[in-house]
Structure 1
Amino acid sequence: MPRTVTIAGLAELVGEDLGHSRWLTVDQPRIDTFADATDDHQWIHIDTAAAENGPFGGTIAHGYLTLSLLIPLWSELLEIEDATTKINYGLDRVRFPAPVPSGTRIRLQAAVAEVTGVTGGVQVIVDATVHAEGGSRPVCVARPVLRYLA
């Protein structure tokens, strides 16, 4: 269940770890659907037979698929009750330190890094780390920039 705050209350969360989202399985049908949506049909993502002999022993998720899951996972951690508009404003930094093999469960750990005022609301920078179950390194480290407007 997400933590609920107001736009005005976001500043109080700076530096606070918001914990983890639920585990989400990144299975082959999700990977294939993402490949179709983005026209990225590289064999490492969709050709299960060829990928068995590849560097990861099977297919892996697109890095941008993992990145795209930040927003739904983030919404499990924090809800801004008085925001009428929520904007994904961009990213300050993104890295994919480890692959996400097909069938792997991932979850988001996040902390509010910065909150600044903007016209009509606030801009929030998040320190986001996506972990794979049983993995020794994160699969995505990013700093999403979000705007919440009243």
Structure 2
Amino acid sequence: MIIIKNYPEFEGYLGEELGVSGWHTITQEQINKFADATIDHQWIHTDVERAQTESPFKATIAHGYLTVSLLPYFWHQIADVQNLKMQINYSIENIRFAQPVIVNSQVRLKAKLVAIVNLRGITKATIGVEMEIDGQKKPAYTGEVVFLYHFID
């Protein structure tokens, strides 16, 4: 895990890989809870028996947005941004889903600092992200997440 305490420290990582999170197993319970929270109960996610017989994956798959919602969880395993007044999730950009995450797969996040700007004392950091699936060549998705950091002076 990297520790970042201010803009100059953060800027020093520009263009570099920031790290990789630990693995997390996507369970059917997590998929079901996400389905309840988002009111998205499409059978490909929640109907285990039907997915085994009708799905091309022969199992349920995680919602794409469930995997994206794990970004903050994984990000905090990669970077400890300290000395903050506030952090704001600003945007998620150019997310491309490359392949589904089958239930009980392990996933993790790889992050790279692709851009950083000082906006009158507010740090706008663009992090390139790739969600890897254990044992798979293609990632679940790639894209960018943008955070705004208000460092304490």
TM-score range, shorter chain: over 0.9
2:66 corresponds to: 65
**1:39 is the counterpart of 2:39:** yes
Shift of 1:119: 3.6
Which 4+ stretches in 1 moved above 4 angstroms? Answer: none
1:78 corresponds to: 79
1:56 corresponds to: 57
| Structure 2 gap segments, 5+ residues each | none
Alignment of 1:1-150 (within 5 A): 2-8=1-7, 9-53=9-53, 54-150=55-151
| Structure 1 gap segments, 5+ residues each | none
State how many pairs are aligned. Answer: 149
Shift of 1:57: 0.8
For residue 44 of structure 1, give the secondary structure of its aligned residue in structure 2: helix
The TM-score, its normalising length taken from structure 2, stands at 0.94
In the alignment, is the contact (CA less than 8 A) between 1:23 and 1:106 conserved in 2?
yes
Letter in 1 for 2:145: P
The TM-score, its normalising length taken from structure 1, stands at 0.96
Q: Quick one: distance in 2 between partners of 1:113 and 1:81?
A: 20
Shift of 1:99: 0.5
In the alignment, is the contact (CA less than 8 A) between 1:94 and 1:140 conserved in 2?
yes
Q: Quick one: distance in 1 between partners of 2:103 and 2:139?
A: 16
Letter in 1 for 2:30: R
Deviation string 1:34-86 (CA, Å, 9 cap, x unpaired) is 00000000000000001112121110000000000011101111111112211
Aligned-residue Cα RMSD (Å) equals 0.9
Q: Quick one: distance in 1 between partners of 2:143 and 2:40?
A: 22
Shift of 1:120: 3.4
For residue 123 of structure 1, give the secondary structure of its aligned residue in structure 2: strand
For residue 35 of structure 1, give the secondary structure of its aligned residue in structure 2: helix
Q: Quick one: distance in 1 between partners of 2:57 and 2:27?
A: 15
Letter in 1 for 2:48: T
Letter in 2 for 1:15: G
Letter in 2 for 1:27: T
